[in-house]
Structure 1
Amino acid sequence: MLAIALALGAGLGWGTSDFLGGLKSRALPLPSVLLLSQATALALLATATAVRGSGPPGLDFLGQAAIAGLGETLGIAALYRGFAVGTMSIVAPVAAAAPLVPLLAGLAAGQVPGSLQFTGMALAVLGLIITSRRPTDEAGTRPQVSILYGMLAALGFGAFFLTLHNAGQADIGWSLLTARLTTVTVIASVIALRRHRVAVRRSDLPALAAIGVLIVAADAQYAFASILGPVGVAAVLGSLHTVVTIALARIILKERLSRLQAIGVGVVLAGVLILSLA
């Protein structure tokens, strides 16, 4: 039960940070949003690791954590860009296909979930797929743009789910720090190579810092959830961040949900209820 609560908490944190990041990416350059929010997260993790005072685990685990950082970099960049040029309520659900990566990896390793868990996960994934069905973009553009960025985000987040779980079995704190350091290094390198100018208004700094705080909290909750329970279940529940993003887009941006999307959200919630009973 604790693993489920932590995974749901991760989904809430990621969904809120995704919405804020996508919203800020509409008004600010994407590299600036990514660098400042991720730098905040890195500073928090570096401080926490220094306070703990424990040494790093083996290089194989740190390598997995670095891959997690690369995956999350791809996922976040694709998600924010998709939110900026497409429709949040299309990009977000497509990105929710991310749990398929750890689920397939778990099945390949012989980790077969119980019948109740499998039913709950299947309903959650099915609901997320249904929610992604939408004929046109609200902005009048073709939905393929939103779907493409959603698929890239799904690939990146799926790799993140799997490799962070693997690395976290040695040391969660160092895994989170290594993943975030990798993310910031990649983003800073791209900014330097492309000579982007990082400039934001002072009034935007609290929101960008909040994104970083939310990401750290969500990543930590997911890492613990994936250790305490099946990684596939944690990944599915963590991916409910898309439902949070859609809800915020509906409430704040007035993006409308079709009847089919509303049904999809209901199927997702039914899957979560079954998983909580498993």
Structure 2
Amino acid sequence: MSADWKVRFTPEPPGPKAGSRPSADCTASARPAARGARGRSSARTGPRSRQVPVRADSTPPPPPHRGAGLRPRTVLAIAGEDFSIVASDTRLSEGYSIHTRDSPKCYKLTDKTVIGCSGFHGDCLTLTKIIEARLKMYKHSNNKTMTTGAIAAMLSTILYSRRFFPYYVYNIIGGLDEEGKGAVYSFDPVGSYQRDSFKAGGSASAMLQPLLDNQVGFKNMQNVEHVPLSLDRAMRLVKDVFVSAAERDVYTGDALRICIVTKEGIREETVPLRKD
């Protein structure tokens, strides 16, 4: 066998393993000495990095908190023996900015039904317009007003029809049922709902819901008489929990809008909250 044949089949040294980075010497030797027509030398051995000039007097913007632009607002509802209360704050904020201090989230649907919307403000307005249009069509077709339970079922179908591109809205409906008793219905964005005695939603729901569980549902309490919740006590409780939430939640404040639903109709009350 000739020497040329032996040299031709001499095994090459093993290369780098799969997944390992080549050494700096291999990288430098593999690159051309000149780049383009300008003939600049390429002596860098590490990965190229892009440097963005930053002004010395510029400061980076604060990071978005929990999804800027989709800030849920705080909504609460309580059902009593012959009344329902739906309350919300009036602050509308995005990130660390307050757009308006007078934007209530409670919308009157009928003389016995109020809806509270927590979530993206544009979807809240769109959804309430759709509900109001459906209620007008129902009244013209049947010559009567839709009941609170029927409105809850209708809202469930509306939300479920948009389940593949849902509204970013958490809804709470409060009102009186056909027997004149208080009723509260809570929804998720895709239409699942249930009837509750009390419910809180929005940015401060983690603080409001435990208070309602304890004071209205009498949970984690022993040797306490479960007396029916009166309207006066419910009003005091709603004011107290929102004052506490405004102290801890930066997205809750400015004012508290309370809608009281009774057999006489719906009346509203506004309570100031802290504005910082």
User: Taking structure 2 as the reference length, what is the TM-score of the superposition?
Assistant: 0.23
Pick the structure with greater CA Rg.
Answer: 2
Higher percent of residues as strand: 2
Report which of the two has the higher share of helix. Answer: 1
Structure 1 length normalisation: TM-score?
Answer: 0.23
Higher relative contact order (CA 8 A, sep 6+): 1
